[in-house]
Amino acid sequence: MPLDLSDTLVVGITTTALFDMTESDNAFQSSFKEDRAKAVADYRDHMLKHEHEPLVDGTGMPLVRALLALNQYQPDSQPPLVEVVVMSRNSPETGLRVLHNIRRLNLPITRYAFTGGESVTAYLDAFDVDLFLTTRPADAQQVTDAGTCAVALVKAPPSDMAPIPEGQVRIAFDADAVLFDESSELLNKVEGLPSFHKNEDLNQNSPMQEGPYAQFLRKLSRLQGRLPFNVEFSPVHIAIVTARNAPAEMRVIKTLRHWNIYVNAMFFLGGVEKAKVLKAYRPHIFFDDQDSHLEPAAKHVPSAKVPYKTTSPLKAVTGGDGLP
């Protein structure tokens, strides 16, 4: 009988998001443009030569460790609380270095997809993935456009990362165009902040439409419900860190109430730098759609970009990268 993962949070992560594979990637990219066959051979030789050497943690590692630790609360004879699937364009042979490192770290990961050079995105549905973390922009865009699952393009690992509280999974989200649809963000960009504030205040009792991370947030909420804790004391700690401020704050709170989702913390910043708040909050990962917020934050906390769909009007008004 197939394993039922409908109540399990499933994270798909590429090897380059789980580990820092910069050295290995350089071995491939240095000769790829000139001679593809040579590049593949050089990469294979590099991976085999260094097969038993340790890898440095990547941006996604803190989140993976924290999520997998939640399985200690898994009820007997029920599906796991969390599953992590490592997804890689490596061949099984060149992927051995990753497997050795996963065993070295005692990570309880049992599912893998090694596609031998082909894109891994076609297999997200097959593995019931709810969140896909990658370092490949083309893959992230493809998943976004298809609406397959929540997807993010991880930034480089933080250079000044503060210790994250143990025993918790701390996840921080931006609001507009991430948890919620992009209509309010578009209004802000096109008509300006006064029109945005007026619209959000007038519509504070009208729930916003779901954004690209709404279903992932719902899955986190279901995970909270499966844990043996009251939601207020759950080890799954969720925060919203948004540039909104009064009078646009009420609609966020009331929308989440309408969705029946409990969020532990909200920060309505109104111009305060997100990086400072995130450095204090210390999440395992922060999701945002704008590089202007992500670049400063990524120096202190693991951060990942939520891409716009190719057809999104926000691409036109922000230059495609979330910047004014």
DSSP 157-221: PPSSPPPPPTT-EEEEE-TBTTTB-SHHHHHHHHH-HHHHHHHHHHTTTSPPPB-TTHHHHHHHH
Strands 303-305 and 150-154: antiparallel
What pLDDT is attached to residue 321? 54
Residue 84: exposure state from Cβ atoms within 10 A (0-12, 13-18, ≥19)? buried
What pLDDT is attached to residue 324? 34
At 44, is the pLDDT very low, low, confident or very high (cuts 50, 70, 90)? confident
What pLDDT is attached to residue 322? 44
For residue 34, is pLDDT > 80?
Answer: no
Domain with CATH 3.40.50.1000 in the chain: 169-318
Least confident among 22-36, 58-72, 89-103: 22-36
Query: For 273-292, how does the pLDDT look when each residue is reduced to its tens digit (9 = 90+)?
Result: 999 999 999 999 999 999 99
* Superfamily for domain range 169-318: HAD superfamily/HAD-like (3.40.50.1000)
Nearest to 67 by CA among 108, 102, 98, 120: 108
What pLDDT is attached to residue 27? 57
What pLDDT is attached to residue 43? 77
Statement: 9-154 belongs to CATH 3.20.19: no
Strand partners, 210: 180
Instruction: Tell me what the pLDDT averaged over the chain comes to.
Output: 91
Query: For 183-221, how does the pLDDT look when each residue is reduced to its tens digit (9 = 90+)?
Result: 999 999 999 999 999 999 999 999 999 999 999 999 999
Q: Are 285 and 62 in contact (CB under 8 A)?
A: yes
Query: For 77-105, how does the pLDDT look when each residue is reduced to its tens digit (9 = 90+)?
Result: 788 999 999 999 988 888 899 999 999 99
Mean pLDDT to the nearest integer, 238-248: 97
Q: What does DSSP assign to residue 91?
A: -
Share of the chain above pLDDT 90, in %: 76
At 243, is the pLDDT very low, low, confident or very high (cuts 50, 70, 90)? very high
